[in-house]
C-alpha cells in the first residue's frame, strides 16, 4: 500500500488538474461576458481551434513543407508566406464551419468575406484578423502571432454592405485577442471584462488559464521601435527617444530596447513587463505600418482593458473612424506613463531634461 506522502509527491501529468481550460473559463464566466451568449462562447472556441492548427504547422515548419513563400503577392503588396496562407485558410475555415460568424476581414484578403452562418445565429459576429503577424520570422524560428477583433454587426448593417458601414470604430469591439507562438503558445483575449491569458498544454491540446486578469505595469522597462528609420522620424519623436535613453536620475537604471520584428511578441512582452511599442509614420509607411482594423484596434482594446493606452500619437486608437479595411495608422501602445509621455513630446510639450516621474 503506498503511503499518502508518496502519492502526494506524484507530479501532475498535465496542467488539467490545477488549471481551468479556455472552454471551462468561458462557460464559468458566461454571465459576466458583455456578450454572454452561447454563440459567443462558440465563436471564441472556433478561433482557438484555428490557433491550435496554426500552431501545429508553425511548430513543424522545418519538417512540413510550409516554409518560404507561396509565390504570390497579397493585397498588402507583400510576398505571401506559405504560413500566412495556411493561417488565413484555417481561421476562415474554422469561423465558416463554426457558423457563428457572418463576416470576416483578413489582412490576406482584398475585401471582407460574407459567411452564411449555417443556422439562425442569435448574434451576427464580424471577425477581423491578421492571421500571421510577423510571418517573415517563421523561416528563422523567431516568434510570430495571430491577432483577432470581434464586432457584432448592428441590426441595420448587412454583411455585404459598403465598407464604411461595416467597419466600426474600435470602441465598438465586443472582444479582441491574440495568439503568441513563442517559447510557449499563448491565447490572450478580452471581452471588455479584463484580460486573461491561456497557455497551450500540448500534452492535452488545451489552452489552460495561466495568466488571469493581466494588468500592464504603469512604468515600462522596454521600448520597441525600428530605429533604422530614425531619419524619417519627426524632431519631436527623436527628442522623445533621447529622453527614453537617459539613465534614471535616482536609480541609474535605463529602459531597454527590444524589437523583434513581430508586433504580437513585442506587445506581449510589454504587456507582462511594462513597455512601449511604437510604429510611427515613416518614408515607406507615411500612415504608419500597422493596420487599424486587425492590428491596432484589437491590441488597443486589450491594452486599455489591462490598464494601458494606445494612440496614433495624438488620438485614442479606439476612437478612429475607419473607412478602409486595410487602412494603416501610426501606433504608440503600452504602459500608460510612456504612451502619455510620447504624446507630450509629439505635441511639443516634452522636455528631455524632465525626469521619468516628472
Binding site for ligand P6P (CB under 6 A): 133-134, 226, 261-263, 289
Q: Closest distance between ligand P6P and the C-beta of residue 101, in Å?
A: 24
Record the cell numbers describing residue 89, joined without a space. 485558410
| Beta carbons of 148 and 126 less than 8 angstroms apart | no
The Cα 83–Cα 132 span in angstroms is 7
| Beta carbons of 147 and 47 less than 8 angstroms apart | no
Q: Closest distance between ligand P6P and the C-beta of residue 274, in Å?
A: 18
The Cα 132–Cα 112 span in angstroms is 17
Q: Given the complex with ligand P6P, which of 33 and 259 has the nearer CB atom? A: 259
Q: Given the complex with ligand P6P, which of 101 and 180 has the nearer CB atom? A: 180
Q: Given the complex with ligand P6P, which of 261 and 307 has the nearer CB atom? A: 261
Q: Given the complex with ligand P6P, which of 34 and 226 has the nearer CB atom? A: 226
Alpha-carbon 344 to chain mean position? 25
Q: Closest distance between ligand P6P and the C-beta of residue 137, in Å?
A: 8
The Cα 342–Cα 240 span in angstroms is 6
Q: Closest distance between ligand P6P and the C-beta of residue 77, in Å?
A: 12
Q: Closest distance between ligand P6P and the C-beta of residue 83, in Å?
A: 13
Q: What are the DSSP E strand ranges found in the chain?
A: 69-73, 79-81, 101-106, 113-114, 125-133, 144-152, 175-181, 185-190, 195-201, 206-211, 222-224, 256-257, 275-279, 309-311, 331-334
Q: Given the complex with ligand P6P, which of 152 and 262 has the nearer CB atom? A: 262
Amino acid at each position: 500500500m503506498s503511503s499518502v506522502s508518496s502519492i502526494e509527491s506524484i507530479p501532475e501529468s498535465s496542467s488539467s488538474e490545477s488549471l481551468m481550460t479556455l472552454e471551462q473559463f468561458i462557460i464559468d464566466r458566461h454571465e459576466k461576458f458583455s456578450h454572454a451568449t452561447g454563440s459567443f462562447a462558440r465563436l471564441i472556441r472556433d478561433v482557438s481551434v484555428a490557433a491550435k492548427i496554426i500552431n501545429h504547422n508553425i511548430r513543424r515548419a522545418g519538417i512540413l513543407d510550409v516554409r518560404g513563400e507561396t509565390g504570390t503577392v497579397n493585397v498588402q503588396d507583400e510576398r505571401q508566406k506559405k504560413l500566412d496562407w495556411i493561417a488565413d485558410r484555417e481561421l476562415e475555415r474554422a469561423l465558416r464551419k463554426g457558423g457563428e460568424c457572418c463576416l470576416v476581414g483578413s489582412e490576406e484578403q482584398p475585401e471582407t468575406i460574407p459567411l452564411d452562418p449555417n443556422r439562425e445565429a442569435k448574434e451576427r459576429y464580424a471577425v477581423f484578423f491578421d492571421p500571421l503577424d510577423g510571418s517573415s520570422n517563421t523561416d528563422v524560428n523567431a516568434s510570430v502571432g495571430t491577432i483577432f477583433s470581434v464586432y457584432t454587426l448592428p441590426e441595420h448593417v448587412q454583411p455585404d454592405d459598403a465598407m464604411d458601414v461595416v467597419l466600426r470604430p474600435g470602441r465598438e469591439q465586443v472582444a479582441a485577442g491574440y495568439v503568441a507562438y513563442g517559447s510557449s503558445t499563448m491565447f490572450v483575449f478580452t471581452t471588455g471584462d479584463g484580460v486573461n491569458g491561456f497557455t497551450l498544454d500540448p500534452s492535452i491540446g488545451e489552452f489552460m488559464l495561466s495568466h488571469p486578469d493581466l494588468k500592464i505595469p504603469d512604468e515600462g522597462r522596454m521600448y520597441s521601435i525600428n530605429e533604422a528609420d530614425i531619419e524619417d522620424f519627426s524632431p519631436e519623436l527623436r527628442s522623445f527617444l533621447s529622453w527614453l535613453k537617459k539613465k534614471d536620475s535616482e536609480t541609474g537604471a535605463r529602459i531597454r530596447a527590444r524589437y523583434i520584428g513581430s508586433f504580437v511578441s513585442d506587445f506581449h512582452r510589454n504587456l507582462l513587463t511594462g513597455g512601449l511599442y511604437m510604429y510611427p509614420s515613416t518614408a515607406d509607411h507615411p500612415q504608419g505600418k500597422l493596420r487599424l482594423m486587425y492590428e491596432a484596434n484589437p491590441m488597443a482594446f486589450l491594452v486599455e482593458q489591462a490598464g494601458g493606452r494606445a494612440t496614433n500619437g495624438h488620438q485614442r486608437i479606439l476612437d478612429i473612424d475607419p473607412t478602409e479595411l486595410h487602412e494603416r495608422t501610426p501606433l504608440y501602445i503600452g504602459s500608460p506613463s510612456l504612451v502619455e509621455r510620447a504624446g507630450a513630446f509629439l505635441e511639443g510639450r516634452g522636455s528631455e531634461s524632465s525626469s521619468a516621474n516628472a
